[in-house]
Structure 1
Amino acid sequence: MKPLFSIRLVFIALALGLLLAISLSLSLGPVAMSLDTPWRVLLSRLGLPLLVEPQAQLIIEQIRLPRTLLGLAAGGVLALCGVAMQGLFRNPLADPGLIGVSSGAALGAALMIVLGAGLGGLAPEWSPYLLSASAFAGGLLVTSVVYRLGRKQGRVDVATMLLAGVALAALAGALIGLLQYLADDATLRTLTFWNLGSLNGASYSRLWPLLAIALLVLVSLPRSASALNALLLGESEARHLGVDVERLKRRLILLTALGVGAAVAACGMIGFVGLVVPHLMRLLLGPDHRTLIPASMLAGASLLLLADVLARLLVAPAEMPIGVLTALIGAPFFLYLLVRGRSHA
């Protein structure tokens, strides 16, 4: 597939778009600021003699900066995991949720929310950490079960793993529905908003685990770019080219489980980023993973930040769940891509 645009031009546009998204995320909200205010605050922290208002400095450093960094890390890692899954399944319609990690993380969080309410509430200082840890553990557990079910005679059968992922995702959804049925009104509201996803309540303590895992995925996945390119030809062809296909599958599954599990644990359920962003970047740049991986990371981070800005502004002073916005943006756009692909087939 030939790229529609110059690769350099696309990366320049993505970099500028990311800078704009960061500026808007730091500037807009209940207290509106000029676009240069956040940068003056950040530069003053680096020692430059710039005058900044104490209120603006407090809002940016304690509220908006961790929220922006959380959106950058979550959007980037979700898009990277989408690239990994689409490469693994050799299908541009694949999604990280296919291996059950998102559903498992949601089930883990739901168990902790309902269990905490049933025990009379967890200690406030430990509740966010226990919720994130439960979501992360649930995602890893379901992914490990899917992986084991997909192994056959020492190899990972992608088709079997896909079917196992769909089945376990359905089972997790049923268990979450049961927990919602058993929950009281307050717990049900918490569970519902968490499942819809949000960057609200971001803090540096919630950021660091996700940021560390996002950096791990960002460093590790590009090393598999050439192997993913070979895998596009088929597993047998990739083996003939010297690719250890089974090791590649294990690496991609592990990175996806870590990345999506950490993102869901920090932000809740946010859909369509890992599906639409890699698909769009593939249309713009072609299937070469050496450019597709960094481009998807930049686009995913920008998309999630812009969706978060809209979530803050559309129903102000309230806040719309970001998962609703990404679905409202992503679903019609993805349907357009499907129709466009059929018309060009």
Structure 2
Amino acid sequence: MMAVKEGQQGFGKKLVFWLLPLLFVLLLAVVGSVSLGSAQLSFNMVWKIIFSHLPFVPDMEREWPKAAEVIVWNIRMPRIMMAILVGAALAMAGVAYQGVLRNPLADPYILGVSSGASLGAASFILFGQGLAILGQWTLPLVAFVCGIGTLFIVYRLAYIAGKVQIETLLLSGVVVQAFLGAGLSLIMSISGEKMQQILYWLMGSLTLSDWSSGVAVAPYVIVGWFVIMLFTRELNLLALGEQKAHHLGMNVERTRLIVLLAASLTAGAAVAVSGVIGFVGLIVPHIMRTLVGSDHRVLLPVSAVAGAILLIAADTLARTIMDPQELPIGVITAFLGAPFFGYLLRKRRQRFF
């Protein structure tokens, strides 16, 4: 009993030790991002506008143009909030996928969630514009449903004799992704003038973020985080191996299904509003694991904050590095992530040969 209590105290201290500095860095990232942009607005003006919208701040005299308020409060701030939500969602999903699949090279898209969402979105852009019964929310909904539907197909393909082997699950994901990739190539080959719109969505962007889109995504991120946090003990047991986890009383199949579903719901919601932003779910969990260890009670929350920081930084670069032209955010994360993925691949190869 004393050992358990000491372990819980150690876990709490470790979490606070890493989480507080990361939250401070996140605050600095928000401050820097909201203060930068193509519109030359002074630092004081930017923060006067922000404070004027906070409920606990007394009314102040509005000395700024209406256009400046629109830029700061209706464009930059919703975009930053969306970067926080999407970055946290992708990082949390990455932690969950790597934990449940016991593969440090896994990311939120390994089982085809991204490919399914991409094919659904591209098909809707090309064929379904007249069916936008939910207005601007129709495209994200289609992408989300197709991504989650892909997960169920992959899982069903891998479900053999009442159980799912990790190797079979990964191979099923590869097969389904190949099929969906062929479908996506077909859609793009006949897309004509809509190819640019499809490509921009596939490369990821937070350009169209607004407060309503953030409100729509937040419940998925919060619920996904809560569900995965409920299974941090099981994820820690899985690191010992499936057989040992089973002998310790864990229902491996049930845990795997619930965690994969929660992670895919979270990642699918992020993809639905931002497009395909790769490598966040690969880079962040691996870096944080080397820093804080593999205890998922600590790894999950610190990775969520680190993912938010990374995506804010990437989005700020995307909209300022070639000002006034804006790059898709997926280009920035790919430049960061592809070399890192190569490093991980080489490291794992050297371990086995």
TM above 0.5: yes
Q: Given the alignment of the two structures, is residue 108 of structure 1 paired with residue 116 of structure 2, yes or no? A: no
Amino acid at match of 1:70: M
The alignment's C-alpha RMSD in Å is 2.2
Q: Distance in 2 between matches of 1:286 and 1:154?
A: 33
Match of residue 3 from structure 1? none
Gapped regions of structure 1 (runs ≥ 5): 1-5
Q: Distance in 2 between matches of 1:36 and 1:333?
A: 38
Match of residue 263 from structure 2? 256
Q: Alpha-carbon deviation of 1:149? A: 1.1
Deviations 1:95-127 (A, max 9, x none): 1211110100001001101103xxxx4378845
Aligned with 1:167 (options 175, 182, 186): 175
- The 5 Å alignment of 1:214-229 reads 214-229=221-236
Deviations 1:160-218 (A, max 9, x none): 1111111111111111100110111x200100111000000112232222111011112
Q: Alpha-carbon deviation of 1:132? A: 0.8
Q: Distance in 2 between matches of 1:330 and 1:111?
A: 28
Match of residue 80 from structure 1? 92
Q: Distance in 2 between matches of 1:246 and 1:93?
A: 21
Q: Alpha-carbon deviation of 1:43? A: 2.9
Aligned with 1:188 (options 171, 195, 204): 195
Q: For residue 96 of structure 1, give the secondary structure of its aligned residue in structure 2.
A: coil
Q: Given the alignment of the two structures, is residue 48 of structure 1 paired with residue 55 of structure 2, yes or no? A: no
Q: Alpha-carbon deviation of 1:133? A: 1.1
- The 5 Å alignment of 1:1-345 reads 8-35=16-43, 37-45=45-53, 46=55, 47-52=57-62, 53=64, 54-116=66-128, 121-122=129-130, 126-184=134-192, 186-338=193-345
Q: Distance in 2 between matches of 1:32 and 1:72?
A: 24
Q: Structure 1 residues 7, 262: closer, same or farther in 2, change over 3 A?
A: closer
Q: Alpha-carbon deviation of 1:339? A: 5.0
Q: Alpha-carbon deviation of 1:330? A: 1.5
Percent of aligned positions with the same letter in both sequences? Answer: 41
Q: Alpha-carbon deviation of 1:89? A: 1.1
Decide which moves more: 333-342 or 281-290. Answer: 333-342
Decide which moves more: 57-66 or 302-311. Answer: 57-66
Q: Structure 1 residues 279, 57: closer, same or farther in 2, change over 3 A?
A: same
Amino acid at match of 2:190: L
Q: Alpha-carbon deviation of 1:34? A: 4.5
Deviations 1:8-66 (A, max 9, x none): 54323311211111112222111244456554433332233445524433322211121
Deviations 1:287-342 (A, max 9, x none): 11011000110000110111000001111111000001000012223334555677
Q: Structure 1 residues 66, 343: closer, same or farther in 2, change over 3 A?
A: same
Gapped regions of structure 2 (runs ≥ 5): 1-13
- CA contact under 8 A between 2:105 and 2:344: conserved in structure 1? no
Structure 1 residue ranges, 4+ long, deviating more than 4 angstroms after superposition: 6-9, 34-39, 49-52, 123-127, 337-345
Provide the TM-score with structure 1 as the length reference.
0.91
Q: Distance in 2 between matches of 1:168 and 1:123?
A: 27
Amino acid at match of 1:328: F
Q: For residue 30 of structure 1, give the secondary structure of its aligned residue in structure 2.
A: coil
Deviations 1:235-257 (A, max 9, x none): 11111222221111111111122
Decide which moves more: 101-110 or 232-241. Answer: 232-241
Amino acid at match of 1:115: F
How many residues are treated as equivalent by the alignment?
336
Amino acid at match of 2:118: A
Q: Distance in 2 between matches of 1:109 and 1:316?
A: 28
Q: Distance in 2 between matches of 1:97 and 1:33?
A: 38
Decide which moves more: 87-96 or 328-337. Answer: 328-337
Q: Alpha-carbon deviation of 1:259? A: 1.1
Q: Distance in 2 between matches of 1:289 and 1:133?
A: 30
- CA contact under 8 A between 2:227 and 2:259: conserved in structure 1? no
Amino acid at match of 1:297: A
